[in-house]
Amino acid sequence: MGVREVLADTLALALPPRCPGCGAVVRGDHRFCVDCWGSLNFLGPPWCATCSAPFAIDRGPDAQCGACLEHPPRHAGARAAVAYGPVARTLALRLKYGGRLAFATTAARLMARHMPGDADVMVPVPLHRWRLWGRGFNQAVLIANALVRETGVPHDPLALRRGKRTPALRGMNARQRRTAVSGAFTVARRLDSAHVVLIDDVYTSGATADACTRALLKAGAAKVTILCWARVVGDSFD
């Protein structure tokens, strides 16, 4: 056994892989323990044909939820690996605020199955420059970087820009959220006829995603699909 292998084994003993949800020792990187894995609510069909909101029963491939029938969204679906819940929230918070940057790969590996087959380019939801400066990174960019490795779809981290510093949206009603992000996003280049996949960590009310989608479509994108780690379903954000 060479020196490199000895060092790797020593490091593995000193710093064993741990569950992203609870911190328990697990068998490999990016793996959840049995309890945390079992508590994740993985999303997928059956879902709304327009926004990808999950259905409890299969209503058919063309079925739409009530919200989309009343107010069709601009985007072509908001797909998520899991429903927002305790374990999904822990991963998102530890990635964003706890410095656990490797969790971007953990999320991406479970998001990759929902990448549209005709995707042309991934674009992450941007941070305002002051927030980026304070945090040091954009978690959506880290997830998109990991998704490039998982799916091969190219990534343009500079295509979308947030020129307006927006307040935290939690606690606002739908109208206040739309007002807060109105005009916040611009696009740096044309995206003529491209199927853009907008990358984010958590999809909550959809106000930010809608504002980003508006800007991307204005720049010529043919359609925009949102892909994220977790999606709020019902009152799961409370």
pLDDT digits (tens, 9 = 90+) for 114-160: 999 999 999 999 998 888 888 899 999 999 999 999 999 999 999 99
Contact in structure between 32 and 87 (CB atoms under 8 Å): yes
Architecture of the structural domain at 40-231: 3-Layer(aba) Sandwich (3.40)
**Residue 216 scores a pLDDT above 60:** yes
pLDDT reported for residue 238: 41
Mean of pLDDT values over 46-57: 93
Considering the chain, what is the average pLDDT of its residues? 89
**Residue 7 scores a pLDDT above 50:** no
Strand partners, 67: none
Residues 199, 197: Cα–Cα separation, whole Å: 6
What DSSP element (H or E) covers 131? helix 129-135
pLDDT reported for residue 228: 98
pLDDT reported for residue 33: 97
Number of C-alpha atoms within 13 angstroms, CB side, residue 110?
24
For residue 50, give both structure tokens: 């327009």
Q: What percent of the chain is modeled with pLDDT above 70?
A: 92
pLDDT digits (tens, 9 = 90+) for 24-48: 999 999 999 999 999 999 999 999 9
Residues 47, 233: Cα–Cα separation, whole Å: 12
pLDDT reported for residue 126: 95
pLDDT reported for residue 49: 92
Residue 237 pLDDT level (bands cut at 50, 70, 90): very low
Q: Could you state, in order of their start, the residue ranges of all structural domains in the chain?
A: 1-38, 40-231
**Residue 76 scores a pLDDT above 50:** yes
Helix (H, G, I), strand (E, B) or coil at 203: strand
Mean of pLDDT values over 196-213: 94
Helix (H, G, I), strand (E, B) or coil at 201: strand
**Residue 209 scores a pLDDT above 60:** yes
**Residue 178 scores a pLDDT above 50:** yes
- Phi and psi torsions of 121, nearest 5°: -155, 145
pLDDT reported for residue 14: 54
Residues 230, 199: Cα–Cα separation, whole Å: 11
Helix (H, G, I), strand (E, B) or coil at 180: helix
- Phi and psi torsions of 154, nearest 5°: -65, 160
Residues 69, 209: Cα–Cα separation, whole Å: 19
pLDDT reported for residue 9: 45
Estimate to the nearest angstrom the gap between the alpha carbon of 1 and the chain centroid: 41
- Phi and psi torsions of 231, nearest 5°: -125, 135
